[in-house]
Amino acid sequence: MTAPRTAIVTGSTSGIGLSIAEAFAAEGCNIVVNSFSDTPADHAIAEQIAERYKVAAVYLQADMSKAADCRALVAKTAEKFGSVDILVNNAGIQHVAPVEDFPTEKWDAIIAINLTSAFHTTAAAIPLMKKAGGGRIINIASAHGLVASAYKSAYVSAKHGIMGLTKTVALEVALDKITCNAICPGYVLTPLVEAQIPDQMKTHNMDRETVVREVMLDRQPTKEFVTVEQVAATAVFLASPAAAQINGTHVSVDGGWTAQ
């Protein structure tokens, strides 16, 4: 019987990351759930995944702004499960401000968490994947990895950087049965986004449907949110045998945003 694959999903206690962790658990993978906070609720998420999907799942704390934590996350996973077969670099934060007013500490944090962490986890995982005879690296980028929006200089820069990292890694590991690809979601309906809608309704004096269509989804031609399940299903596909020859590219899940 083939041993289950082990998947690390960074930033996976909520939203897109949690959905990806659950999707890989449904495929029978061992799961490493991660965030920086290390609370009983964080550990409970891993326990619930283990119980629901009948897999091994653990929570491992790591601050993605710290290089040593990023690399230790991979090392601890290999120590516990014996391998790292799937690495999903999902952790990210956001801040919105004009360039001239953008706080330096916010820029540094966004670049560290959204971009540099992926370098460190990837660098730590590749030797393990080579030793195992293959692996999958999936970077959660964004439509902002392909196009820009005003007032998001750090986020856009980080996500464009993720695209470059994805391509470079793919070329370096192409002969090792390791693939590296990116997913570029558009506007995803997460709890964080859902919580913003009432404020937007008040600000624009609009009903919910109008705010969603004309304000939040202005650039998304379908006028529908991407779901976390759709992003997760794309990640599962990229880790499947069917995607073995998909390497160094991206899959846009954005309702047509970047077709414009």
| Residue 39: HSE in the Cβ half-sphere, 13 Å Cα cutoff | 5
Strand-pair partners of 138: 88, 181
Distance, CA of 78 to CA of 245 (rounded, Å): 26
Residue 116 main-chain phi, psi, to 5 deg? -65, -35
| Residue showing tokens 């990837």 | 122
Alpha-helical runs (H) found in the chain: 15-26, 40-53, 67-81, 104-111, 117-132, 153-172, 191-204, 208-210, 228-238
Paired tokens of 165: 């990292």
Distance, CA of 169 to CA of 118 (rounded, Å): 11
How far, CA to CA in Å, does 109 sit from each of 8, 63, 127, 159, 193? 22, 11, 27, 13, 21
53 is catalytic: no
Q: Which of 53, 59, 151, 155 is catalytic?
A: 155
Look at residues 89, 199, 102, 211 and name the one whose alpha carbon lies nearest to residue 142.
89
Distance, CA of 168 to CA of 162 (rounded, Å): 10
Q: Using the Cα atoms of residue 141, residue 144, residue 150 and residue 153 in order, give the sign of their dihedral.
A: positive
User: Which residues are catalytically annotated?
Assistant: 155
